[in-house]
Chains A and B, each alone.
Chain A
Amino acid sequence: MNQNSKKMFVAPLYSKQKVTKSVYRLDFYEPDLTPLFRAGQFVNVSIPRCKEIVWRRPFSIHRVNSDKGCFSVLFDIVGRGTLALKNIQKGDKVNMLGPLGNSFECPDDTEQVILIAGGLGIAPFYLFLQQLEHRDIKKTIFYGAASAERFCCLNEFEQLDATLYLTTDDGSEGESGLITEPLWRYLETAELKRKTVLYTCGPTLMLKEVQKISKQFKLPAFVSVENVMACGFGACMGCAVPLDQPGEKRYLLACTDGPVFPINEIVIDG
Chain B
Amino acid sequence: MVDLNIKIGTIEFKNPVMVASGTFGYASEFCDFFDPSVLGAVITKTVTEDFRPGNPPSRIVETTGGMLNSIGLPNSGVEPFIREKMPFLRKIKTRLIVNIAGKTGDEFARVVEKLEAVDGIDGYELNYSCPNVKEGGLSFSADAAVAEKVTANARKKTRRLLITKLTPNVTSIGDVGKAVENGGADAISAINTVVGMAIDLRKKKPRLSTITGGLSGAAIKPIAMAKVYELLKRTTLPLIAIGGITDTTDALEFLLLGACAVQIGTQNFVNPAIGRDVVEGIADYCRENHIHHISDFTGSLVI
Contacts and interface: CB of A to CB of B under 8 A. Distances in A.
Given A235-B30, A235-B268, A54 B62 contact: yes
A94 interface: no
A55 B53 contact: no
Interface string B121-161: 00000000000000000000000000000000000000000
Interface string B52-74: 01111111111111110101001
A234 B25 contact: yes
Contacts of B270: 46, 54-56, 230-231
Contact of B66 (A54, A227, A248): A54
Contacts of B218: 54
Contacts of B23: 235-236
* Highest count of chain B CB atoms <10 Å: which of A53, A97, A238, A248: A238
B268 A240 contact: no
Given A46-B270, A54-B217, A231-B268, A250 B53 contact: yes
A228 B269 CA distance: 13
Contact of A251 (B63, B64, B74): B74
Interface stretch (A4-12, A165-173, A178-186, A207-215): A4-12
A55 B269 contact: yes
Nearest to A46: B270
Nearest to A227: B57
Nearest to A230: B269
Given A52-B65, A235-B269, A237-B71, A251 B53 contact: yes
A235 B54 CA distance: 14
Contact of A240 (B24, B25, B59, B272): B59
Interface residues of A, number: 34
Nearest to A56: B270
Contact of B64 (A5, A52, A250): A52
Interface string A224-251: 0001111101111111111000001111
B60 A4 contact: no
Contacts of A236: 23, 60, 69, 71, 269
Contact of B32 (A7, A241, A242): A7
Interface in A1-23: 3-8
A8 B25 contact: no
A241 B54 CA distance: 11
| A interface, over-half SS | loop
B59 A237 contact: yes
Contacts of A248: 53
A55 B270 CA distance: 6
Contact of A8 (B64, B71, B272): B272
B269 A231 contact: yes
Nearest to A5: B32
Contact of A231 (B32, B63, B272): B272
A52 B62 CA distance: 10
Interface in B202-257: 217-218
Contacts of A235: 23-25, 29-30, 268-269, 272
A269 B30 CA distance: 30
Nearest to B271: A8
Nearest to B217: A54
Nearest to B60: A238
Contacts of B268: 231, 235
Contact of B57 (A55, A230, A242): A242
Nearest to A236: B269
A140 to B, nearest CB: 32
B65 A54 contact: yes
The 5 closest A-B pairs by CB, nearest first: A238-B60, A231-B269, A230-B269, A235-B25, A234-B29
Interface of A: 3-8, 46, 51-56, 97, 227-231, 233-242, 248-251, 269
24 contacts: A8-B33, A52-B64, A54-B217, A55-B62, A56-B270, A228-B58, A230-B69, A231-B272, A234-B29, A235-B23, A236-B69, A237-B74, A238-B60, A238-B71, A239-B57, A239-B59, A239-B60, A240-B54, A240-B56, A240-B57, A242-B57, A248-B53, A251-B53, A251-B74
Interface of B: 23-25, 29-30, 32-33, 53-67, 69, 71, 74, 217-218, 266, 268-273
